[in-house]
A and B are shown apart, each in its own frame.
Chain A
Amino acid sequence: MSIVRRFGMGLLAPLTAVAAAMLITSIVISLSGSSAIEFWEIIFSRPADRVFVNIVNQTSLIYLAGLAAAIGFRMNLFNIGVEGQYTLASYAAASLAGAALFPGLLNVFMSLLLAVAVGAAWAGIAGVLKVTRGVSEVISTIMLNAIAITLVGYLLNRYGVKVGNGVRTEVIPDGSRVDGWFPFAEPDGPVWALGLLAVLGGIGFWVLLNKTRFGFDLRATGASQSAAVASGVNVNKMVVYSMLMSGGIAGLIWMPSLFGAAYSYGTTFQAFLGFTGIAVALLGRNQPVGILVGAVLFAFLNEQSNRLTLETDISANVVQITQGVIVLAVVVAYEVVRRYRTKLEQRSVTETLEADKTAKGKAVSA
């Protein structure tokens, strides 16, 4: 297959998926008696400066969530527990940073370290349970989500600082805040400096998977466990390690926001990123660049949806329909394209064989 054709094939699936999602969303909006054109006009309008900043910031969070999920997926581990891992890690890091045991940036560094450790440990429980007891990680991580979220709520109520009707952890001192850069006017907000964690994470993810022994083992185990075992990979070790790494990255998800805007864990905590991450990892086929595209798309849709309820009678929930359909359509489209490609390959192999045969036949008859 020529390079152009292969490239076209690669784009075919995601493009079909987005087109299908747009079509279905439009139908849903029309059925509910609103104008689909109005919807797309708002979604595709140029974002205001501050919305643009928000999209960049949200992309960094969603991208980290996508990476966390993708590490597990590459090894056939369904880490559904990203949600619980980052919730617990965010609470722990916010508590430590708020306690201000360390000065300035050291405080930030130690808090990030703690976030990684807590996220990894929480995911590690599921890994160890799978290896030693054969508990499916899908079940255990879902359970651990519920436990983590309830536990954080309990700890927050018990040890948090009450402010009015809200509860939060101690506010991070001025010296340990990491705002970032202001690309526009100050009210439009900063692009969070710790968003760089997402960039580092993406590069690290690619290097790890493609340039290290560990990455090779991980991909091998994901592709075929029996083959990996036969070539000397210790699968149990790989399961635990990849859960630890998945959880470790999950721990970082909310950190850019914590140190850049929220400064404490409370009502400003952003929940559900763990599930968004799973969707985005699927969308990006667990590839660093693909996940980035997915993260940008989701962040863009989320942020643009605010204008919907203000300017039209369309519910912002429609955007969730769009996102859900995109994910499903991508899965379906990839499968269809895969089958089509297999068929093409088979045909080209047959053609080559046929050509060989006739050529040989000619040679013999000559």
Chain B
Amino acid sequence: MRLSTRIAAVGAAAVLALAGCARDDNPGNGTSGGSVDLDCDAGGDGPKVGLAYDVGGRGDQSFNDSAATGMQRAVEELGATCTEGEAQDGEAESAREDRLRQMADGDYNPIIGIGFAYSEAVDAVAPDYPEVNFAVVDGYDPTPDEPNENVAYLGFAEHEGSFLVGVAAAEKTEADHVGFVGGVNNGLIQKFQAGYEAGVKAVNPDIEVDVTYIEQSNLSGFADPAGGKAAAAGMYDGGADIVYHAAGGSGSGVFDAAVEAGEGKWAIGVDSDQYLTATEEQKKHILTSMLKRVDVATFDMIQSVADGKPLTSYQTYNLEDDGVGYSTSGGFIDDITDVINGYAEQIKSGAVKVPETP
């Protein structure tokens, strides 16, 4: 009996420790790191929006927060109201579906899934609610031969934006050695990597680019600051002086690694202008951020429903229509914006083709 208690104690400790490894749901624990202010109830009689966040949720200072920014704009400009749901690490697919169904049953329209992991769930739910409009950011139709007429897939040309921050990295590196940390090794994040590498090589083909992914397929890679920190720290130790991350909530770990690596080591943010939400310590190390305007896409979707002309099928936001870009907060790249904008023009005109796969 006593032995089994001991077993139980060790086991319980192990469970909690291991489960804890992959869960950091409090990204707001940085000293001044703030999340987006979103007041769902402040709107009026505009659309009732259901926002279903991915793992990490609002407060990740990255991907999900960007969607919240777009939502807030809709609250202010369109009088929209909203409800928010958030995916849990390791939750059942049925839980994702149920989240969407509860929103649909609650007469929310449109319902926006933030993150490609909602693709399957939306595909399962949408046919049961033909009068409701769904959107999936980064989404895709898993059953292309049975298209849904009430679903919009909001995609981005991440490779184009990543190309520009790659140029920035190549211009600023003194070690001729930079790095890339991806959250999860999938087609989506590979687009970031491909664009970044192409941007770096466009400036100087001799610059070395380290690439690491936190997880191969497990989505917890987007909510694992410790994993992000370990990956980036390894690159700084190995001689890289600038690391770009495309790892959602894990990115705060990359910034921490840059802070610890010290003067002259930089990190590049992603999705949102991460300089604005970083801590004072981190701000000194955030060179720029690749902007993926999830806020624009979110707002567009809501507006289209408010106008009675809901978006459907695949929509792509690229450099041309400011769907992607880069930030200049902090003023660290003010001296090279001409160079970056030069490349941007070439991408827009089609003179430079950015690859989507590494």
Contacts and interface: CB of A to CB of B under 8 A. Distances in A.
B93 A270 contact: yes
Contacts of A309: 84-86
A76 B3 contact: yes
Contacts of B120: 166, 266-268
B94 A166 contact: no
Interface stretch (B8-16, B269-277, B298-306, B335-343): B8-16
A57 B217 CA distance: 24
Contacts of B11: 73, 78, 80, 278, 281-282
B140 A164 contact: yes
Given A166-B116, A166-B119, A306 B98 contact: yes
Is the interface on chain B under 10, 10 to 19, 20 to 34, or 35 or more residues? 35 or more
A78 B119 contact: no
Contact of A338 (B1, B15, B84): B1
A267 to B, nearest CB: 5
B95 interface: yes
B140 A166 contact: yes
Given A153-B215, A165-B186, A316-B88, A51 B93 contact: no
A54 B98 contact: yes
Contacts of A50: 98, 101
Is the interface on chain A under 10, 10 to 19, 20 to 34, or 35 or more residues? 35 or more
Interface string A281-304: 110011000000000000000110
B217 A152 contact: yes
A68 B188 CA distance: 35
B279 interface: no
A228 to B, nearest CB: 13
A271 B224 CA distance: 15
A153 B94 contact: no
Given A50-B98, A278-B14, A305-B88, A165 B140 contact: yes
A157 B186 contact: yes
A345 B306 CA distance: 73
Contact of A331 (B9, B19, B89, B90): B9
A187 B25 CA distance: 32
B91 interface: yes
A307 B102 contact: yes
B120 to A, nearest CB: 5
Give the interface SS of chain A, mostly helix, strand, loop or mixed: helix
Nearest to A156: B217
Nearest to A51: B98
Interface string B131-145: 000000011111010
Contacts of B89: 271-272
Contacts of B220: 271
Give the interface SS of chain B, mostly helix, strand, loop or mixed: helix
B25 A157 contact: no
Given A50-B101, A268-B120, A303-B98, A153 B92 contact: no
Given A187-B128, A275-B18, A338-B5, A149 B12 contact: no
A35 B215 CA distance: 37
A164 B139 contact: yes
Contacts of A324: 16, 19
A101 interface: no
A1 interface: no
A109 interface: no
Nearest to B215: A153
Most buried by A among B92, B185, B188, B215: B92
B94 A57 contact: yes
A76 B1 CA distance: 12
B15 A315 contact: no
Contacts of A222: 4
Interface in A1-53: 50-51
Nearest to B13: A328
B216 A76 contact: no
A274 to B, nearest CB: 9
Contacts of A152: 216-217
B116 A267 contact: yes
7 contacts: A57-B92, A80-B18, A307-B102, A310-B99, A311-B83, A315-B86, A316-B88
Interface of A: 50-51, 54, 57-58, 61, 73, 76, 78, 80, 138, 142, 149-150, 152-154, 156-157, 162-168, 187, 189, 222-223, 257, 261-262, 266-268, 270-273, 275, 278-279, 281-282, 285-286, 302-303, 305-307, 309-311, 315-317, 320, 324, 327-328, 330-331, 334-335, 338
